[in-house]
Amino acid sequence: MRIIDHHIVGSTANPHTAARLADVFDPNAGSVQAQVRLGTAADLERAVAAAQAAQPGWAANNPQRRARVMFAFKALVEAHVDELAHLLSSEHGKVLADARGDIQRGLDVIEFACGIPHVLKGEYTQGAGPGIDVYSMRQPLGIGAGITPFNFPAMIPMWMFGVAIACGNAFILKPSERDPSVPVRLAELMREAGAPEGILQVVHGDKEMVDAILDHPAIGAVSFVGSSDIAHYVYRRGVAAGKRVQAMGGAKNHGIVMPDADLDQVVNELSGAAFGSAGERCMALPVVVPVGAATAEALREKLVPAIAKLRIGISTDRDADYGPVVNAAHKARVEAWIQKGVDEGAELVVDGRGFTLQGHEAGFFIGPSLFDHVTPAMESYREEIFGPVLQMVRAADFEEALSLPSQHQYGNGVAIFTRNGHAAREFAARVNVGMVGINVPIPVPVAYHSFGGWKRSAFGDTNQHGMEGVKFWTKVKTITQRWPDGAPDGSNAFVIPTMG
């Protein structure tokens, strides 16, 4: 059996090979294809030692040199995109075109990181007082760590290490143990691009490794993306250990459909946003809220045939709309949520359970499901399902539609479909959610803006990538300087200095 190992270079300590192993599945076949080594605190120690040795030299490089490594890395990832997309799709199960999108959205952040010399320029005030100038600079934290989910094994690691490393930090990545191979390849390509050994390392593992990261005194900041309960735990434990922590959690994004929306367009957008990647996206749109009974009826009439046309296939099938979910446990979980919806009294219009793909009967496939008459009181509405399940919650008017995502425990993304500029503007201003799409179903901000939800979708104050990312991975130092030209000026040193 193939063993997927840590990527720790620059450490002379012996690897800890007695560690536990976890299965990595082939979701298309439903079988085990490899095992990943689950690391221990001793493995982390090796990674930290190598990072500590490498980081000061890396930070001492001028930012343009660090940017050059990012440029080279971007070119290498582009040259290897087919290999990476196949590897990603073979462990995650998302279709190849979607796997390419996963890599490209990560590369967008690397492109942003290529501009790091510009964004790291500090602030300067000449003459803040008599003969006094004030300037500030952003300095790296030292060692940063990232803990990432299974659903974007290329994009989310690049969100984090792209910015952290360009800012002058060393970075330790703990990717999901369910699809760990792409992060290792990315680390190898960073080495090839010229990143010194120890600057980007990958340690695999589960809770044991996460706890070791959260408790390690040499790690200054931790970025986490995953489910909300674990995000909250990571946030609390990391902050208690004195670290800077940003922890993004789960989601339940709503798509509001106003009566004036172009329903053909909405159905087209919804199909991709609800079922693409088998619904395993934190910016998926698993809840649709038609406004008014006529909108709900018309939408349902168009949605049912559109869902019937969706094509489920193995992840390398170029005609497939979506592939299997990540593993058998997740498949069982999604199917249990569907049963829960039925038990709670929602109308299951399309039932995706029991779907099998000919020739791939053991694969982790789930057909698309559609619920109507879902209500806010239902647990299947309040919690994240993270599968190919679309829930329709009917709203009587705009105010009710606005209140649904606003009052939901999650606040990652939301979309409104309308031709009415005033309604859209009002919605965007008032909705209690972090990322808003206006006729855009998956409003993932571009790399030079920042990604982050509200409420239980994110713990901590700073978003991912863009200037928020730069702020997260650096600390500000402010220097107040005076170059006296002669005799003491006679000011009273016992009084708080003022510039007056």
Active site residues: 282
Q: Which stretch binds ligand NAD (CB under 6 A): 46-54, 104-112, 249-257, 373-381?
A: 249-257
Is 177 among the residues that bind ligand NAD (CB under 6 A)?
A: yes
Q: Is 246 one of the binding residues for ligand NAD (CB under 6 A)?
A: no
CB contact at 8 A, 355 and 308: no
Question: In the bound complex, what is the minimum distance in angstroms from residue 441's beta carbon to ligand NAD?
Answer: 16
Tokens 């309040």 belong to residue: 382
251 binds ligand NAD (CB under 6 A): yes
301: left (phi over 0), alpha (psi -120 to 50) or beta: alpha
Phi, psi of 430 (to 5 degrees): -100, -20
CB of 493 to ligand NAD, least distance (A): 51
Binding ligand NAD (rule: CB under 6 A), the pick from 250, 259, 313, 324 is 250
Q: Helix or strand or coil: residue 26?
A: strand
Nearest residue to 337 via CA among 377, 372, 387, 289 = 387
Q: Which of 38, 164, 184, 230 binds ligand NAD (CB under 6 A)?
A: 230
How far apart (Å, rounded) are the C-alpha atoms in residues 89 and 314? 9
Complex with ligand NAD: residue 168 or 238, whichever CB lies closer? 238
Distance CA 39, CA 50 (A): 16
Q: What sign does the CA torsion over 37, 40, 44, 45 have?
A: negative
Judged by beta carbon, residue 251 or residue 334, the one nearer ligand NAD is 251
Q: Which two tokens stand for residue 343?
A: 């038990």
Residue 302 CB coordination number (10 Å):
15
Q: Which of 28, 148, 169, 463 binds ligand NAD (CB under 6 A)?
A: 148
Q: Under rule CB under 6 A, which residues in 445-484 are in contact with ligand NAD?
A: 453, 457
Q: Check residue 368 for interaction with ligand NAD (CB under 6 A).
A: no
Q: Does 223 bind ligand NAD (CB under 6 A)?
A: no
Q: Is 271 in the site for ligand NAD (CB under 6 A)?
A: no
Q: Pattern of binders to ligand NAD over 54-93, x per CB under 6 A?
A: ----------------------------------------
Tell me: does residue 176 bind ligand NAD (CB under 6 A).
yes
Which residue in the shown chain puts its C-beta closest to ligand NAD?
Answer: 226
Q: Segment near ligand NAD (CB under 6 A), from 45-53, 163-171, 203-211, 434-442?
A: 203-211
CB of 117 to ligand NAD, least distance (A): 28
Residue with tokens 């016992």: 494
For residue 499, which phi and psi values (nearest 5 degrees)?
Answer: -95, 5
CB of 227 or CB of 420, closer to ligand NAD: 227
Contact 428, 438 (CB under 8 A): yes
Helix or strand (DSSP H, E) at 322: none
Q: Which stretch binds ligand NAD (CB under 6 A): 169-177, 263-271, 347-355, 489-497?
A: 169-177
Say how far apart CA 56 and CA 485 lie, in whole Å: 35
Does 184 participate in binding ligand NAD (rule CB under 6 A)?
no
Pick between residue 169 and residue 253 the one whose CB is nearest to ligand NAD.
Answer: 253
Interface segment toward ligand NAD; rule CB under 6 A; list 109-117, 223-231, 294-302, 428-436: 223-231
Contact (Cβ atoms closer than 8 angstroms) between residue 3 and residue 38: no
Please compute, for residue 469, the number of CA atoms within 13 A of its CA located in the half-sphere on the CB side. 33
Smallest CA-to-CA distance from 57 within 217, 195, 192, 203 is with 195
In whole angstroms, how far apart are CA 142 and each of 15, 115, 222?
24, 20, 12
Where does this chain touch ligand NAD (CB under 6 A) — which range of 66-74, 226-234, 287-295, 475-483? 226-234
| 206 in contact with ligand NAD (CB under 6 A) | yes
R_g (Cα) of the chain, nearest Å: 25
Span of 71-79, 102-110, 146-154, 309-317 interacting with ligand NAD by CB under 6 A: 146-154
Amino acid occupying residue 368 = P
Q: How is residue 448 written in tokens? A: 């030079």
Give min distance, CB of 327 to ligand NAD, in A: 10
* Tokens linked to 401: 């539609």
Which CB atom, from 213 or from 303, has the smaller least distance to ligand NAD? 213
Number of residues in contact with ligand NAD under rule CB under 6 A: 26
**Stretch in the footprint of ligand NAD (CB under 6 A) among 244-252, 334-342, 356-364, 439-447:** 244-252
Q: How far apart are alpha carbons 429 and 347 in whole angstroms?
A: 33
435 contributes a contact to ligand NAD by CB under 6 A: no
From the list 244, 204, 201, 190, the residue with the least C-alpha distance to 220 is 244
C-beta of residue 94 within 8 angstroms of C-beta of residue 315: yes
User: What residues numbered 386-425 form the site for ligand NAD, per CB under 6 A?
Assistant: 386, 412
Least separation in angstroms between residue 102's CB and ligand NAD is 11
Q: How far apart, in whole angstroms, are the C-alpha atoms of residue 76 and residue 226?
A: 28
Applying CB under 6 A, the residues found at the interface with ligand NAD are 147-152, 174, 176-177, 206-207, 210, 225-227, 230, 248-251, 282, 384, 386, 412, 453, 457
